[in-house]
């Protein structure tokens, strides 16, 4: 059963002033750049999704370590100002 454990998840905080005003084409281009680097790095790092706010992007990734996330950011040319490992996920069902 231990082989079935999920890969660690991380939240990456990217300080990108004004990113919330990016065009759909700009966001598509950034997504394509990210995916191209992910393909180069192999299947052990996975981008789950990202939240774009006015001045930051918060990305959720699955990866074995923080190091490969930093490598992805450097190769893609994106900031990775803070990387935090997710320890637990809670939601409304946690209260039941």
Tens digits of per-residue pLDDT, 85-94?
A: 999 999 999 9
Average pLDDT over residues 43-72: 97
Comparing 4-13, 28-37, 42-51, the range with the smallest average pLDDT is 4-13
Q: Which CATH architecture has domain 2-91?
A: 2-Layer Sandwich (3.30)
For residue 36, the model assigns a pLDDT of: 97
Mean pLDDT of 71-92: 96
Q: Is the distance from CB of 57 to CB of 19 less than 8 angstroms?
A: yes
Task: Specify the pLDDT at position 5.
Answer: 65
Task: Say if residue 22's pLDDT is above 70.
Answer: yes
């Amino acid at each position: 059963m231990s082989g079935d454990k999920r890969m660690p998840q991380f939240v990456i905080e990217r300080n990108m002033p004004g990113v919330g005003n990016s065009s759909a084409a700009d966001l598509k281009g950034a997504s394509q750049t990210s995916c191209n680097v992910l393909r180069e790095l192999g299947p052990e790092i996975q981008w789950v999704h990202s939240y774009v706010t006015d001045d930051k992007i918060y990305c959720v990734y699955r990866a074995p370590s923080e190091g490969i996330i930093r490598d992805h950011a450097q190769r893609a040319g994106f900031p990775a100002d803070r990387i935090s490992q997710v320890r637990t996920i809670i939601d409304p069902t946690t209260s039941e």
